[in-house]
Amino acid sequence: MSKVRKAVIPAAGFGTRFLPATKAMPKEMLPVVDKPTIQYIVEEAIASGIEEILIITGKNKRAIEDHFDHSVELELELEKKGKTELLELVNSISDMVDIHYIRQKEAKGLGHAIYCAKTFVGDEPFAVLLGDDIVYTEDTPCLKQMINCYDDYETSVLGVQTVKQEDVSKYGIVDGKQLADNVYSVNGLVEKPAMEEAPSNVAILGRYIINPAIFDILKDTEPGKGGEIQLTDALKELALQEDMVAYDFEGKRYDVGDKLGFLEATVETALRRDDLREDFLTYLEKIVEKETVQNIK
Ligand code: UTP
């Protein structure tokens, strides 16, 4: 059985929901407290055992590449000032893992972005983590949970959670049958269906493990919803050719590319940080007189 060693992080979308911040900077660089979104995702991939990462970048790719590269001037400056902890922090980012980059010349959709990873992936199963979806977990990272599921079923795995019925039109929705506690078999998929047409409320949420057979399908996938080449359409075709499962992962997922999702991620991440929790909670309690804030740990 092949091991899942490679991960692809698409980060070439326009991020129109977050304009003007995303005019000259990819949304994947939006900081959640003090770390860019994409670094949380790279860290999740590494903690899940991924050895090589390909980031699909768009026209504003510099910031992402620079972030994961050495910054000689900054390192010298920190060294001169004796700021050893910060120096270690900055160095650790560039030493994290082997990161490759490829440019998607035109943002033709997520399916097209993944097709750009064909040569990097070769003939092995690979993980996809969307560059703007953070999943917070207390124990096992989200991708690791999915790799465990892949090891059990030896076939493509979609990361899913149930969403509110009125939200189904924001996601790729699974038509499936429950196989085990957290696992469904995938019979069909629909990209962003209208509420009354959705086969379920089981939604794909930014994490995938995909067999390389997807590339032959993506090659001929026509633009779908929104005029974009949709990964969901290609996965639907793959599910006709071979078994596919959906795994209901444990964890809190944030859509950082959405304004409200970004705010939730920021507030809850700050509340989980020992260095910020107390002061931030005092501040929040002052402005929001509701007990719910107390329950975020
Ligand atoms: P989204 O649909 O969330 O990204 O794609 P978007 O199109 O940038 O968002 P809005 O709606 O305009 O705000 C999910 C992921 O796929 C990447 C995005 O960067 C994001 O990480 N993506 C999307 C690409 O890499 N290329 C594309 O052509 C489209």
Give the pLDDT confidence of 139-161 residue by residue, as tens digits.
999 999 999 999 999 999 999 99
Percent of the chain with pLDDT over 90: 85
Report whether residue 104 contacts ligand 1, using a CB cutoff of 6 Å: yes
CB of 113 closer than 6 A to ligand 1? Answer: yes
Could you give the CA distance from residue 238 to residue 234 in angstroms, rounded to a whole number?
6
Question: 50 CA distance to ligand 1 centroid (A)?
Answer: 22
Model confidence band, residue 81 (pLDDT cutoffs 50, 70, 90):
very high
**Residue 1 pLDDT > 70:** no
The first and second tokens of residue 239, run together, are 């599910």
Non-local CB neighbours of 239 within 8 Å, separated by 6+ positions: 156, 186, 187, 188, 189
206 C-beta closer than 6 A to ligand 1: no
In angstroms, what is the span from residue 287 Cα to ligand 1's centroid? 34
Average pLDDT over residues 215-220: 97
> Average of pLDDT values for 130-139?
96
Distance 244 CA to ligand 1 centre (A): 24
Q: Is the CB of 114 under 6 A from ligand 1?
A: no
- Tens of pLDDT along 104-131? 999 999 999 999 999 999 999 999 999 9
For residue 57, give every residue at least 6 positions away whose Cβ sits within 8 Å of its Cβ, in sequence order, or none. Answer: 11, 12, 26, 64, 65, 101, 102, 103, 104
Domain 6-257 has CATH 3.90.550.10: yes
Q: Is 172 in the pocket of ligand 1 (CB under 6 A)?
A: no
* C-beta of 38 in contact with ligand 1 (< 6 A): no
Q: Rounded CA gap, 149 and 167, in Å?
A: 26
Using CA atoms, how far apart are residues 65 and 99, in angstroms rounded to an integer? 9
CA of 15 relative to ligand 1 center, distance in Å: 6
Domain boundary assignment for the chain = 6-257, 258-297
Residues with Cβ < 8 Å from 135, sequence gap 6 or more? 44, 141, 142, 205, 206, 207, 249, 251, 252, 253, 254
